[in-house]
């Protein structure tokens, strides 16, 4: 009967508009939720079979609600270095736990990048979900596009300490051109008589022994950081030679017991330093240890830790790894003024602890140590889908895989169509309050109109019943 179908159509209108109201309510409630994607309720007509010619049966309507996941939210500046946003396609991969994560544990996807470091050092967002990333080894991450289990929860406190062994030392100094040639220079020849070395002199003085070595004219000391973060002292001693613009030079450890294997106690290398007529360092004519090695102005020395390592080498008792140190002498000069050491610049750094975390636009999470070292920990992976709107919504502003979304592919940020990471930023909700309030008005009116259908149909049925009386 047409009146019955009209009443049922009114009921379908009530149900559909109630769904629309629920959708709008969710949107308004989440207007400030980071990276929230608004719901949209569309209406679809229902057509029934018209069995009797001339009689129309109403079918009504049904509500179809979907979340507009693929809509990009506004990227806004945030105060925290661990707040990150995705500008473009992709989702952060997150899990419900960090420690003890198994391959069978569910991986979820989210755009909510309000991450912070928890008490255990993991990066978690406001929903307490753990951010996943590819571990970095030797500064390189290895993304796997199809296996999410290759990602691990990112932890910034399980790194221990950072040490940067010295690999380069640059000396800026001037030597006195008119330095008087010492009486001991004539007998100085450590390659033939090791006891005449300047290293021997330093060791004799340090041990209050009878002095047999040659006293240097000038000594420059530098600090060396070893592989364990310890600090050692190394000296560059020079002695004016009888030949113009020539200086004898030695590098030795202080104390001498830090190294073994040298001809003299603590001796690491010896040779001569030459200067041009205008006082510049002359790497071509410098000789011995300070010769122009492989076309470079920077001689280097290696300190090993084994019998097959370099000689001299670190003392075995120190238990240190092999280390090669480049000595940059390009800023040495010879002038008519007293010798002076102006600066020593070294790239080494001792033991350091994590004091901050940063994320770059390629998704690399790095730990910053208080010794100024920066170490990459992991690279954030972004999961992409052919149809993001087909993902299944979950609590915590997350989504799970679903067949309509298509096959997931994990990508490094900014590659193969994946979005880029915006550090110190957050993606805003896509909810527009003016649009939602307008929707409230139209939904309320539609709901009222549907109720009128039911009351009108009810009145008509009453009229029909009254015909019997």
Residue 456 dihedral angles phi and psi, to the nearest 5°: -65, -45
Q: Are 395 and 457 in contact (CB under 8 A)?
A: no
Predicted local distance difference test score (pLDDT) of residue 35: 92
How large is the average pLDDT for residues 385-401? 93
pLDDT higher than threshold 90 for residue 382: yes
Q: What's the whole-number mean pLDDT along residues 151-175?
A: 84
Judged against a pLDDT cut of 60, whether residue 98 lies above it is answered with yes
pLDDT at 469: 62
pLDDT at 315 over 70: yes
Model-wide pTM > 0.85 = no
Evaluate if residue 369 carries a pLDDT over 70: yes
Q: Is the pLDDT of residue 310 over 60?
A: no
Which domains can be identified in the chain, with CATH numbers?
Answer: 2-68+430-466 (no CATH), 75-160+354-427 (no CATH), 163-351 (2.60.98.20)
Residues 49-56, mean pLDDT to the nearest whole number:
71
Looking at residues 39-60, what average pLDDT do you find? Answer: 80
Mean pLDDT, residues 436-465: 88
Q: What is the predicted pLDDT for the residue at 99?
A: 87
Q: What is the mean pLDDT of the segment spanning 140-147?
A: 90
Phi, psi dihedral angles at 24 (to 5 degrees): -65, -40
Does the pLDDT at position 333 exceed 70? yes
Could you give the percent of the chain with pLDDT greater than 90?
A: 51
Query: Is 342 or 47 the better-scoring residue by pLDDT?
Result: 342
Angle at 327 between CA 194 and CA 267, to 5 degrees: 15
The predicted pLDDT at position 289 comes to: 66
Model confidence at 263, in pLDDT bands (50, 70, 90)? confident
Better-predicted residue by pLDDT, 111 or 374? 111
pLDDT computed for residue 307 by the predictor: 47
Q: Between the ranges 3-17, 39-53, 158-172, 301-315, where is the mean pLDDT highest?
A: 3-17
- Using the predicted structure, report yes or no on whether residue 392 has a pLDDT greater than 70: yes
**pLDDT for res 153:** 94
Report, as an integer, the average pLDDT of 31-56.
84
Residue 413 · residue 84 · CB < 8 Å: no
Residue 294 pLDDT exceeds 50:
no
Residue 175: the pLDDT is: 95
Q: What is the mean pLDDT of the chain?
A: 87
């Amino acid at each position: 009967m047409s009146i019955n179908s009209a009443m049922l159509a009114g009921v379908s209108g009530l149900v559909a508009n109630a769904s629309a109201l629920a959708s709008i309510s969710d949107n308004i409630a989440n207007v400030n939720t980071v990276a929230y994607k608004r719901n949209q309720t569309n209406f679809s007509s229902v057509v029934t079979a018209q069995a009797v010619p001339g009689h129309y049966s109403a079918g009504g309507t049904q509500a179809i609600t979907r979340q507009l996941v693929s809509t990009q939210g506004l990227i806004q500046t945030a105060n925290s270095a661990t707040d990150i946003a995705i500008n473009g396609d992709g989702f952060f991969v997150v899990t419900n736990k960090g420690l003890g994560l198994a391959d069978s544990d569910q991986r979820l996807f989210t755009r909510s990048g309000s991450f912070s470091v928890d008490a255990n050092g993991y990066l978690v967002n406001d929903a307490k979900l753990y951010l996943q990333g590819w571990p970095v080894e030797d500064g390189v991450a290895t993304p796997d596009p199809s296996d999410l289990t290759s990602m691990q929860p990112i932890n910034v406190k399980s790194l221990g300490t950072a040490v940067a062994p010295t690999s380069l030392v640059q000396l800026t100094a001037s030597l006195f051109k008119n330095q008087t040639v010492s009486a001991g220079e004539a007998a100085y020849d450590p390659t033939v008589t090791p006891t005449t070395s300047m290293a021997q002199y330093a060791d004799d003085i340090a041990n209050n022994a009878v002095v047999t070595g040659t006293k240097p004219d000038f000594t420059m000391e530098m600090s060396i950081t070893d592989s364990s973060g310890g600090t050692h002292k190394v000296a560059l001693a020079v002695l004016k030679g009888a030949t113009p613009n020539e200086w004898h030079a030695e590098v030795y450890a202080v104390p001498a017991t830090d190294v073994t294997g040298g001809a003299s106690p603590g001796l690491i290398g010896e040779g001569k330093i030459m200067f041009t007529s205008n006082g510049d360092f002359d790497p071509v004519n410098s000789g011995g240890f300070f010769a122009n090695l492989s076309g470079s102005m920077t001689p280097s020395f290696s300190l090993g830790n084994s019998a097959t390592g370099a000689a001299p080498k670190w003392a075995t008792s120190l238990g240190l790894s092999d280390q090669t140190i480049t000595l940059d002498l390009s800023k040495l000069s010879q002038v008519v003024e007293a010798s002076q050491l102006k600066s020593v610049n070294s790239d080494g750094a001792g033991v350091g602890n994590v004091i901050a975390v940063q994320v770059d636009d390629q998704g690399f999470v790095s730990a910053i140590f208080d010794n100024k070292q920066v170490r990459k920990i992991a690279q954030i992976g972004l999961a992409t889908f052919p149809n993001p709107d087909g993902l299944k919504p979950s609590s915590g502003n997350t989504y799970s895989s679903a067949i309509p979304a298509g096959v997931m592919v994990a990508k490094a940020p900014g590659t193969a169509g994946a979005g880029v990471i915006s550090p110190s930023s957050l993606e805003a909700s896509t909810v527009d309050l003016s649009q939602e309030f307008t929707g409230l008005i139209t939904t309320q009116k539609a709901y009222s109109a549907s109720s009128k259908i039911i009351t009108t149909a009810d009145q008509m049925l009453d009229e029909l019943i009254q015909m019997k009386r």
